[in-house]
Structure 1
Amino acid sequence: MDDSPISALRNMGPAMESVFDKVGIKTVGQLRALGTDAAYQRLLEAGSRPHFIVYYVIEMALQGRPWNDCKGDEKAALRKRFDAVKARGVDTDRTAFEAMMNAIGVIDPDTKS
């Protein structure tokens, strides 16, 4: 496992290293093992406010690419992943609303995306 600090990754500086340290992610190896979605979920669970740019900066850093290299279809696909991570227990108002809509039959859970 890579024991390098988070700041050794492209796009990741001391501020991101500090944020990850607070949720127990201290090394590049730990971040890689978790992947973008699980690592970002930890940040959200610790109270970080959801922000799409931070999410894709992490993804690009893990790929060794410039943070602003994410465009077009790739960025749209990452946005869907981000929205799914955000919705998993963090966006409780949306989750509660969707549950209510499902209960009264407005949303078919098999067809929603």
Structure 2
Amino acid sequence: MNNRKPISELTGLGPKSQEMLARAGITTVEQLRKLGSIEAYVRTKRVNSAVSLNLLWGLESAITGEHWQNVAKKHRTSLLLALEEREKNV
């Protein structure tokens, strides 16, 4: 997979999500993979307080290739715990 391709080529992230990520300076697959879903979510939320947890599920889905609804069901707790830990360290 070419990680330098734009975020727009990933499945699961619509135009609004892509726009919010771009405002946070995240425009390529490489950047998203390097940051991971938690850090990308935190950075995006900093520049747009209206961001919901659906973005977190979408980011994890885009990175792993797993459908976002499966991510929300299977990985919800671990993602929320990781997010909580990340926010404690700010």
TM-score by length of 1: 0.65
Between the aligned partners of 1:48 and 1:84, the Cα distance in structure 2 is 19
* Superposition map of 1:1-113 within 5 A: 2-49=3-50, 51-70=52-71, 71-72=73-74, 74-89=75-90
Change (3 A) 1:12 1:27: same
Distance in 2, Cα, partners of 1:24 & 1:4: 15
Contact 2:3/2:28 (<8 A) preserved: yes
- Whether the aligned pair in 2 keeps the contact of 1:55 and 1:82 (CA below 8 Å) is no
The structure with the greater share of residues assigned to helix is: 2
Higher Cα Rg: structure 1 or 2? 1
Instruction: Name stretches of at least 5 consecutive residues in structure 2 with no aligned partner.
Output: none
TM norm structure 2: 0.79
Shift >4 Å, 4+ stretches: 86-89
How far the C-alpha of 1:88 sits from its partner, in A, is 4.8
**How many residue pairs were aligned?**
88
Separation in structure 2 between the aligned mates of residue 2 and residue 45 of structure 1, nearest angstrom: 24
Counterparts in 2 of 1:22 and 1:50: CA distance versus 1, 3 Å: closer
Structure 2 residue identity aligned to 1:35: G
Q: For residues 83 and 50 of structure 2, what CA distance do their matches in structure 1 show?
A: 13
Residue ranges of structure 1 left out of the alignment (5+ in a row): 90-113
Residues 10 and 66, structure 1, Cα contact 8 Å, conserved in 2: no
1:21 deviates by: 0.8
Q: For the Cα contact (< 8 Å) 1:2–1:29, is it kept in 2?
A: yes
Higher relative contact order (CA 8 A, sep 6+): 2
